[in-house]
Amino acid sequence: MRLRQARAEVVAAALELLRSGLVRGTAGNVSVRPDGGDLVAMTPTGVNYRRLDPADVSVVGLDGRLVEGLAPSSELPMHLAVYGARADVGAVVHTHSVFATTLAVLGEELPGVHYVLAHAGRRVRVAPYAAYGSETLARGCVETLERDWAVLLANHGVIAVGTHLGAAMGVAEAVEYTAELYWRARQVGTPVVLADEEMDRVAAAFRGYGQPGKPPLT
């Protein structure tokens, strides 16, 4: 039952990424690891998200073997690498959102110019460029991510992670929002970067934010 729900969540998230403009076409992917288990539900490769059915969603083992559904996204190695390195991660969202990817193309990290970025960390660092779908890209992503919740992939896009899918989606949105603010502020002046201590304070406050009984953002 939980796996069926996870596949439906993946479809809903893919459609929301399209609606929000965080992805265009099939340029992005989503995965969920239900209950921290050994199976992952992931968007399949080359399928129009508007036509995606939960039964199409790929179900793979942590070893990469296909269990159900269509063939998974070519970025499966990167998703599995994150799950392998971070037991606290229950979902991964990969986007090519315009403003954050602009920084990735420039090879520039996203600094903490707005407190909302604390959902991702003090800043969002840039992983070295490697070909999409490669083990090298997967390794660089994990090494740069460390204990943060987002990373920029040089000349590629964004990886956002969370304890659950809603959290990972929220991190992706926070990264793109802050990247756009940062880009716009740079057009007229020099953005002021918040101190690490303030970003840490806000991150701690975020962990207790929300309605009782509901999961926190991360």
Q: Which residues are catalytic?
A: 75
Residue pair 79/40 in contact (Cβ under 8 Å)? The answer is yes
The region that residue 186 occupies, defined by phi over 0 for left and psi between -120 and 50 for alpha, beta otherwise, is: alpha
Phi, psi of 197 (to 5 degrees): -65, -40
> What 3-state DSSP class applies to 72?
strand
Task: Detail the DSSP E strand segments found in the chain.
Answer: 29-32, 39-42, 58-61, 66-68, 91-95, 126-127, 150-153, 157-162
Among 94, 91, 93, 64, which Cα is nearest to 77's?
Answer: 64
The region that residue 152 occupies, defined by phi over 0 for left and psi between -120 and 50 for alpha, beta otherwise, is: beta
